[in-house]
């Protein structure tokens, strides 16, 4: 049972003229190659230059690449990007999520009783409003 709805977001420089997904056309867009953001970009940003880290190169964080103008946008989970934008005042997250991705808790198929307990707890927290309070606390 999902407990939270996240999705792909885009991080750009605060001064960037990029304000929507349409503005990413023809831009240098960074996504980690094993993520849903990368797959989404391959399908939806065909006129953009899709960039990812190469195994044999020196790692520079996407946030640093944005700050030095090596890329125009970084795609990954919206919630993570909101956190990064608080850490890097020169960066901002586009307002809209580009996808909708429900998040849940992985449980071994060998432990169905635990799955039932987790799902019941999620239902109870949701019904009482506590789950929404926790989400709002971290979703700012």
| CATH number of the domain residue 97 falls in | 3.40.190.10
- The answer to whether residues 13 and 60 belong to one domain is yes
The pLDDT tens digits of the residues spanning 29-84 come to: 999 999 999 999 999 999 999 999 776 677 889 999 999 999 999 999 999 999 99
Looking at residue 95, what is its pLDDT? 92
Distance CA 135, CA 107 (A): 21
Q: Which domain holds residue 116?
A: 105-138
pTM for the predicted model, two decimal places: 0.83
Q: Are residues 69 and 134 in the same domain?
A: no
Q: How many CB atoms lie within 10 A of CB 78?
A: 24
Same domain, 58 and 73: yes
> Are both 85 and 119 inside the same structural domain?
no
Q: Do 24 and 64 sit in the same domain of this protein?
A: yes
What is the structure's pLDDT at 54? 72
Does residue 112 share a domain with residue 98? Answer: no
Residues 42 and 60 in one domain: yes
Number of domains composing the chain: 2
Give yes or no for a contact between 10 and 111, defined as CB atoms under 8 angstroms apart. Answer: no
Residues 117 and 48 reside in one and the same domain: no
Do 51 and 115 sit in the same domain of this protein?
A: no
């Amino acid at each position: 049972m999902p407990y939270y709805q996240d999705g792909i977001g885009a991080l750009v420089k605060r001064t960037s003229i990029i304000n929507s997904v349409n503005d990413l056309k023809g831009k240098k867009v960074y996504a980690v190659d094993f993520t849903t953001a990368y797959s989404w970009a391959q399908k939806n940003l065909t006129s953009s230059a899709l960039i990812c880290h190469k195994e044999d190169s020196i790692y520079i964080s996407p946030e640093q690449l944005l700050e030095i103008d090596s890329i125009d946008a970084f795609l990954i989970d919206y919630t993570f990007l909101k956190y990064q934008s608080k850490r890097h005042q020169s960066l901002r997250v586009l307002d809209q999520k580009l996808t909708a991705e429900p998040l849940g808790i992985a449980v071994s198929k060998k432990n169905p009783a635990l799955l039932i307990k987790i799902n019941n707890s999620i239902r109870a927290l949701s019904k009482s409003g506590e789950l929404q309070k926790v989400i709002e606390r971290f979703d700012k």
